[in-house]
Amino acid sequence: MWVWPLQRHQIVFGLLILGFVILAARAFYVQVVWSDFLETEGNKRQVRALDVPAPRGHILDRHGSVLALSTPLASIWVDPKIFSQYPEAIRKLARELGQSEADLLQSINSNSNRRFLFIKRSILPQSAAQIESLGLPGVYAKAEYKRYYPSADTTAHLVGYTDIDDKGQDGIEYIYDGWLSGQAGRQQIIKDLEGRVVKFVKNIQVAEPGKDLILSIDKDLQYFAQRALKEARVKHQADSASLVILDAKTGEVLALVNEPGFNPNNRAQIKGEAIRNRAIATLIEPGSTIKPFILAKALEYELIKSDESINTSPGYINVQGHMISDAVNYGHLTAGEVIQKSSNVGIANVARRLKPEQQWELFRQLGFAQDLGLFLPGESMGYLRHHTEWMLVDQVSSSFGYGFNINLMQLAHAYTVFANEGRLLPLSLLKIDQVPESKQVVSPQAAKQVLAMLESVTHRGGTGTEARIEGYRVAGKTGTVHKTKAGQYQQNEYAAMFVGMVPASRPDMIMAVIVDKPSRGIYGGGSVAAPIFQEVMRHALRLRNVDPDGAL
């Protein structure tokens, strides 16, 4: 049977119909079957999740003054794989950043296989926006925050600092990093082929700023303490100096200063010994500042009476072949005069009435060679041998502060005993609203008796007269110790100390200060450290509106 051949227009029409069918099938396949896959692939190329940085919380002093805050900045980064292909973009970016084109090109070439490279950190947001507006391929800006410390070196050792990525590295910034750190947010955005943000889609997670922290310290008190410490260090040509002030009734740390110091806003200074928090990191033999505790425990055990006459003649004694001596032969002294004159022989005679375990237990109860509970980085707890390892000379020498070591904060902490009728307060770096629980270390009666003796130290005939403050009764104790080197005491190297309380009738503050290696011929605690106490406490009493109690 013969079939009429198809006409040309029928063939063309058939092909068009077939084409439409294929296109329809393809459209169905793309829009329905492949839609999820293609949308995902498209999003991979255009939709991005952008991290939104969150600022750290403020660090404030007890009165609300800002000690640390986060300032918004930006950083410029590039995708070397893309950026390296555009020489003109490299020239423009180098010019905008004030960098050498050759140095920038070298940095890009040496990281050509990377997809992320910081070019400049911590620039002003306006500058970053200006660079972004140039539309340079492979060049991007990243919002960041940088920590700023308004008080600079005044509070550096206590507040600490963060690294370039805003993570706490030392001090309060480190131990409370989790509290201060914010929760970064995330935004969904659309970028064009050049990597520029062209549309904001939605917030995936809202950025949450870090929480603020209120410290116990007083910024103004820190300032006066640092100024006095710096002047004294220069005056006496000392290696270093440290100072701690505590609230006598709450155990709050009101000030902590070390000299030399550093400015945490200048990263070039954050290195070496400058950042060492000597008040808690440097171990010292506390010297004569320990004598009041020995006497208090002896009074508590009724091993001595406050008006008892103690024979110190002829000004020295020999204990197991070791000579223990006073500056002069004081003859017969009362217990109070032993403290006032700071007699080594007198306190040695008192210590021998205590059992070694009693004296050792006293030191342990005072917190010596134990953690302070502040968790500050770099803290050294000290060393105290067990009493079973002591010989008589060890017990005697420890009664005037030799043969064991502690840090300055531990020494200041121990003196809360005399301000609180024999009770030792826990310490706090945070502002607190109520008096914490304390533990009884010596009896209230013994603590009161020794507090009166400590007041006599600043009276005529005492070793701490230069700590006196007009209108106020001052109680305190001087200390002067020989420095050690290679296990040997150095005859011409000293550390000068003073620990005091004011006003003595109702102690409000306790201050411990040490000046290490004064080298201008004056080295005693009474002549080097006591004047620092007097200078700082004059301002502290005014700042805290403490009423005079009438100096005797």
Residue 445, domain CATH? 3.40.710.10
Same domain flag for 205 and 228:
no
- For the cut 70, the answer to whether the pLDDT of residue 190 exceeds it is no
C-alpha 35/C-alpha 95 separation (Å) is: 45
pLDDT tens column, 379-412: 999 999 999 999 999 999 999 999 999 999 999 9
DSSP tally for the chain: helices H, then strands E: 20, 21
C-alpha 78/C-alpha 96 separation (Å) is: 14
Cα within 13 Å of Cα(520), Cβ side:
11
Q: How many whole angstroms from its chain centre is CA 458?
A: 32
Where a domain ends, among 175, 194, 214?
Answer: 214
125 burial type by CB count under 10 A (0-12 exposed, 13-18 middle, 19+ buried): middle
- For the cut 70, the answer to whether the pLDDT of residue 49 exceeds it is no
Query: Containing domain of residue 329, as a range?
Result: 219-543
- For the cut 70, the answer to whether the pLDDT of residue 131 exceeds it is yes
- For the cut 90, the answer to whether the pLDDT of residue 177 exceeds it is yes
Number of domains in the chain: 2
Cα within 13 Å of Cα(147), Cβ side:
34
Q: Which two tokens stand for residue 100?
A: 């050498």
Q: What is the mean pLDDT of residues 119-144?
A: 86
Where a domain ends, among 214, 237, 267?
Answer: 214
Q: What is the share, in percent, of the chain residues with pLDDT greater than 90?
A: 67
Sequential DSSP letters for 179-218: HH--B-EEEEEEE-TTS-EEEEEEEEE--BPPPPEEBS--
Res 68: pLDDT? 97
Where a domain ends, among 191, 214, 237?
Answer: 214
C-alpha 235/C-alpha 119 separation (Å) is: 46
Same domain flag for 315 and 446:
yes
Q: Which two tokens stand for residue 80?
A: 């070397």
Res 187: pLDDT? 58
Specify if 41 maps to a domain: no
Res 232: pLDDT? 97
pLDDT tens column, 423-478: 999 999 999 988 899 999 999 999 999 999 999 999 999 999 999 999 999 999 99
Lowest model confidence (mean pLDDT) among 6-15, 164-173, 260-269: 6-15
Res 199: pLDDT? 47
Specify if 43 maps to a domain: no
Residue 388 DSSP one-character state: G
- For the cut 90, the answer to whether the pLDDT of residue 84 exceeds it is no
Res 101: pLDDT? 84
Same domain flag for 174 and 317:
no
- For the cut 50, the answer to whether the pLDDT of residue 265 exceeds it is yes
Same domain flag for 392 and 351:
yes
Q: What is the mean pLDDT of residues 148-176?
A: 95
Q: At 133, which CATH number? A: 3.90.1310.10
Res 188: pLDDT? 60
Specify if 36 maps to a domain: no
Specify if 17 maps to a domain: no
Specify if 27 maps to a domain: no
Same domain flag for 238 and 133:
no
313 is catalytic: no
Beta-strand relationship, 509-516 and 240-247: antiparallel
What pLDDT band is residue 1 in, cutting at 50, 70 and 90?
A: very low
Q: Which two tokens stand for residue 488?
A: 């040997």
Q: How many whole angstroms from its chain centre is CA 141?
A: 32
Res 36: pLDDT? 60
Residue 356 DSSP one-character state: H
Same domain flag for 63 and 124:
yes
pLDDT tens column, 470-527: 999 999 999 999 998 877 888 889 999 999 999 999 999 999 999 999 999 999 999 9
Res 18: pLDDT? 79
Same domain flag for 232 and 303:
yes
Specify if 398 maps to a domain: yes
pLDDT tens column, 368-377: 999 999 999 9
Same domain flag for 66 and 84:
yes
Per annotation, catalytic residue among 288, 342, 398, 527: 288
Q: pLDDT averaged over the chain?
A: 89
Q: What is the mean pLDDT of residues 336-364?
A: 97
- Dihedral-angle region of residue 182 (phi above 0 means left; psi in -120 to 50 means alpha; beta otherwise): beta
Q: How far is CA 93 from CA 56, 80, 88, 124, 129, in A?
A: 30, 13, 9, 15, 13
C-alpha 514/C-alpha 223 separation (Å) is: 17
- For the cut 70, the answer to whether the pLDDT of residue 537 exceeds it is yes
Beta-bridge partner residues of 242: 258, 514
Same domain flag for 359 and 492:
yes
The alpha carbon dihedral of 30, 32, 38, 39 has a sign of positive
Lowest model confidence (mean pLDDT) among 25-34, 176-185, 351-360: 25-34
Please count the residues of the chain: 552
Same domain flag for 108 and 243:
no
Specify if 375 maps to a domain: yes
| Helix ranges restricted to H, 51-151 | 80-83, 87-97, 101-110, 125-133
Q: Can the peptide bond before residue 314 be classed as cis, meaning omega within 30 degrees of 0?
A: yes
Residue 430 DSSP one-character state: B
Same domain flag for 443 and 508:
yes
Same domain flag for 81 and 226:
no
What is the C-alpha R_g of the chain? 35
Tracing tokens 């403490």 back to the chain, one arrives at: 546
Specify if 5 maps to a domain: no
C-alpha 69/C-alpha 265 separation (Å) is: 11
Res 198: pLDDT? 47
Nearest to 507 by CA among 451, 438, 437: 451
pLDDT tens column, 95-129: 888 888 888 888 888 887 787 888 888 888 888 88
The CA dihedral of 435, 436, 441, 443, to the nearest 10 degrees, is 30
- For the cut 80, the answer to whether the pLDDT of residue 334 exceeds it is yes
C-alpha 254/C-alpha 62 separation (Å) is: 9
- For the cut 70, the answer to whether the pLDDT of residue 531 exceeds it is yes
